[in-house]
Chain A
Amino acid sequence: MNALPATGRLTPGALLRPPYARPAAWVFGTLLGLLVVLPALEVSIDQTLIRATPFILTGLAVALPARAGLINVGGEGQLLLGAVGATGVGLALPDTLSPVATLPLLALGGALGGLVWAGIAAGLYVGARTNEVIVTLLLNFVAVSVVAYVVHGPWRDPDSASFPYTADFGAGGTVPLLPGGTAHAGLLVALVAAVGVWLVMGRTRWGFRARVVGGNKEAGRRSGFNVSRTLVIALVAGGALAGLAGAIEVVAVEGRLRPAVAVGFGYIGFLASWLVGHRPLAVVGAGLALAAISVSGDNLQIDAGLPSTTVYILMAVVVMAVLGLRRRAGRQG
């Protein structure tokens, strides 16, 4: 299980399967840390939970394909296409429909958007043997242009002369809130998704197959698994999760599609997944921790007068601390 060579050098393979036996440690440590630090920083708990939702979902979008041996750098683009998909559904649905019907349809639209976007990379991977890292990464930039196209072009709010955004499709007010706060219930979706990915990877035949293929494609092939199909499913399922994050952002946070929606969230989700060795439950902890840092950026600026980029320094410190400690662990193990 411990993929780090005795020298402790960080090889790509080692990064893929780091020696984390206990994801619970991350979750536990993070929650403890948040409990101590959040009140001290006056960081809003609600805002942290809201921000953690896309981080967790895009983190899972990386974790799931990673267990099958694919590196999905496209969470950002898949999130954006999810936002586009949900917006498309939102604009098409009549206002009179009850939220019970609307919200699942919006989520479905988002998941489909992300799925299709990841599907392009998956199709190219199995069809043309292109590198999924490059394709998913580059598709992020195309996704930004797709969003720009729809908000400047066909879906532009007819009531807005100068602002490039779509009409408010009015679902925001119908999103249920978490009990006792102002945070929307999207976090529950993310938690269910994390448990779902954990169950699928660890408890189902497909999950086993995916892990075998991720460990050694040839072994998977010789065991009679349909390797291509497994990989495609892993990548598009990841894309669907990121797309769901996009749907939640436009529906529950923004209420309409804007060009700057959720900028960079997909990359932070990527970080969240790598931090915890792609363990679905631990992604929740990493997502919460990164969300707390991200939200604290406002306070750092407004109260302490620090530049906004301080947030990135903090995130980098977390990554380097974890990588450094992981390296030491490799030497010992």
Chain B
Amino acid sequence: MSRPKVRHLIAVAIAFALAATLIACGGDEESGAEGQTTIGFLYVGPRDDFGYNQAAFAGSQAVAEAFPDAEVLQAENVPETAEAERVMENMIDDGATIIFPTSFGHLEPALNVARKYPDVTFLHQGGLDTAENVGTYFGTIWQAQYAAGVAAGMATESNRLGFVGGFPIAQVLLNVNAYELGARSVNPDVTTSIVFTSNWCDPAKQAAATNSLIDQGADVITQHQDCTNTVIETAARRGAKVTGYHFDASRVAPEAWLTGAAWSWGPLYVDAVRTIEAGGFEGSKYDGRYRSGLGEAVQLTPFGGAATPEIRERVEAAAAEIRSGELEPFTGPIRDQGGRVRIPGPQPSVEELEETDYLVEGVTGEIPG
């Protein structure tokens, strides 16, 4: 038995030396000079997930470009727990005065931290609650899902669409409903099957859900997941077409790609930072529950190889009508799966739509729980 003390000290020392080296290599980005803004971004997943987090990360890059003097702090894989509070406080220690907690579940941690730091402004993505120094913004991405549904309804040969959902929350149900309504607007026989994975990014479950949807006859697949490439790859491999979500991931399967509902956060983030910098947060649209629409933070991605000229034309027409307000996808009568009329007349307000707790007729699958 050789001297364990020395060996263990070496092992520990190597690890710590490496950690210190990494910090040093990362460059000395200590909180900068006077007057320089520091902006922090938190993501719940990796910044290269072809989805929710990559879209938000792209927005942060736009902020870095628009404000070359500002320091942009990044933290990915931040769980929706008390850990997020710690990360935000860490950023504030480094001088951050504007923080973008970009995940739904970062809201409660943000509200907790916001109480402690009244001088820091928090812009949360996708929530419902606000506070004096916390605003929450989102976009009516279901408008783009409706337009993508138009593409799917035209592209399908089996008249069955497949939707890989995460959790049965209002945002997801709204997207499923919009997709089916969009598809049915061009193809009255089409149905959409929904599978919930009870997860936002579990590639194994995503692949299983996609395969089972295709086994049931679906030939166009879409999703509401944070990371999107597994569903796209699996669907394309099985010969199905896809419409994307959150982010333009068309390069994963260029030939199977029809179009997609995606975020373009850059302009919104930049404008929000500019507003706060000018001292105009209070009373601005960001001070509250702001929802951006199709053509702004919500976009249709470019068309892919699977989109025929007829599809492109119809989708673009639908999108243009939604933008102009001529077309309101949730105009009644809208029936739920049981045939009950849920929306009798004109399209409800965005706030009311964001409380959707049912699936429209034509959707197959149940809301669990």
Q: How far is the CA of A152 from the CA of B80 in the complex (A)?
A: 15
Hey, which chain A residues are within 8 Å of B68, CB to CB? Answer: none
Q: 1/0 contact trace for B333-369 toward A, CB 8 Å?
A: 0000000000000000000000100000000000011
Is the pair B16, A329 in contact by a Cβ cutoff of 8 Å?
A: no
Is the pair A305, B167 in contact by a Cβ cutoff of 8 Å?
A: no
Is the pair A40, B15 in contact by a Cβ cutoff of 8 Å?
A: no
Q: How far is the CA of A319 from the CA of B368 in the complex (A)?
A: 42
A284-333 residues with Cβ-Cβ distance < 8 A to B are: 289, 293, 296, 298-310, 314, 317-318, 321-322, 325-326, 329, 332-333
Q: 1/0 contact trace for B181-224 toward A, CB 8 Å?
A: 00000000000000000100000000000000000000000000
Is the pair B79, A29 in contact by a Cβ cutoff of 8 Å?
A: no
Q: How far is the CA of A310 from the CA of B108 in the complex (A)?
A: 27
B13 at the interface (CB under 8 A from A): yes
B58 at the interface (CB under 8 A from A): no
Q: How many residues of A contact B (CB 8 A)?
A: 59
Is the pair B1, A21 in contact by a Cβ cutoff of 8 Å?
A: yes
B324 at the interface (CB under 8 A from A): no
Is the pair A303, B94 in contact by a Cβ cutoff of 8 Å?
A: yes
With A47-B86, A305-B74 already in contact, the answer to whether A263 and B79 are too (CB < 8 A) is yes
- The number of inter-chain residue pairs (CB within 8 angstroms) is 154
Q: Name B91's contact: one of A22, A145, A302 (CB within 8 Å).
A: A302
Is the pair B12, A29 in contact by a Cβ cutoff of 8 Å?
A: yes
Q: How many residues of B contact A (CB 8 A)?
A: 53
Is the pair B27, A29 in contact by a Cβ cutoff of 8 Å?
A: no
Is the pair A19, B1 in contact by a Cβ cutoff of 8 Å?
A: yes
Is the pair B11, A325 in contact by a Cβ cutoff of 8 Å?
A: yes
A82-117 residues with Cβ-Cβ distance < 8 A to B are: none
A37 at the interface (CB under 8 A from B): yes
Q: Name A293's contact: one of B9, B19, B73 (CB within 8 Å).
A: B19
Q: What's the least CB distance linking B28 to chain A, in Å?
A: 9
Q: How far is the CA of A161 from the CA of B170 in the complex (A)?
A: 10
B1-30 residues with Cβ-Cβ distance < 8 A to A are: 1-2, 4-5, 7-16, 18-20, 22-23, 25-27, 29-30
Q: What's the least CB distance linking A54 to chain B, in Å?
A: 12
Hey, which chain B residues are within 8 Å of A298, CB to CB? Answer: 75, 86-87, 90
Hey, which chain A residues are within 8 Å of B27, CB to CB? Answer: 304-305
Q: What's the least CB distance linking A280 to chain B, in Å?
A: 16
Q: How far is the CA of A326 from the CA of B94 in the complex (A)?
A: 40
Q: How far is the CA of A257 from the CA of B47 in the complex (A)?
A: 26
Q: How far is the CA of A152 from the CA of B169 in the complex (A)?
A: 10
Q: Name A25's contact: one of B5, B46, B94 (CB within 8 Å).
A: B5
With A21-B4, A333-B2 already in contact, the answer to whether A302 and B75 are too (CB < 8 A) is yes
A254 at the interface (CB under 8 A from B): yes
Q: 1/0 contact trace for B80-108 toward A, CB 8 Å?
A: 11100011001100100000000011011
Chain A's closest residue to B24 (CB) is: A304
A30 at the interface (CB under 8 A from B): yes
Q: How far is the CA of A163 from the CA of B171 in the complex (A)?
A: 12
A258 at the interface (CB under 8 A from B): yes
Q: 1/0 contact trace for A135-147 toward B, CB 8 Å?
A: 0000000000100
Q: What's the least CB distance linking A159 to chain B, in Å?
A: 11
Is the pair A302, B10 in contact by a Cβ cutoff of 8 Å?
A: no
A selection of 8 A-B contacts at a CB cut-off of 8 Å is: A25-B5, A29-B5, A30-B12, A33-B9, A260-B81, A302-B74, A307-B46, A308-B46
Contacts A29-B12, A302-B94, A305-B26 known; list 13 others, CB within 8 Å.
Answer: A22-B4, A25-B8, A37-B16, A258-B81, A299-B90, A302-B73, A307-B76, A317-B14, A317-B15, A318-B12, A325-B10, A329-B2, A329-B4
Give the 6 A-B residue pairs with the shortest CB-CB distance, closest first.
A304-B26, A321-B11, A25-B5, A37-B16, A308-B77, A33-B12
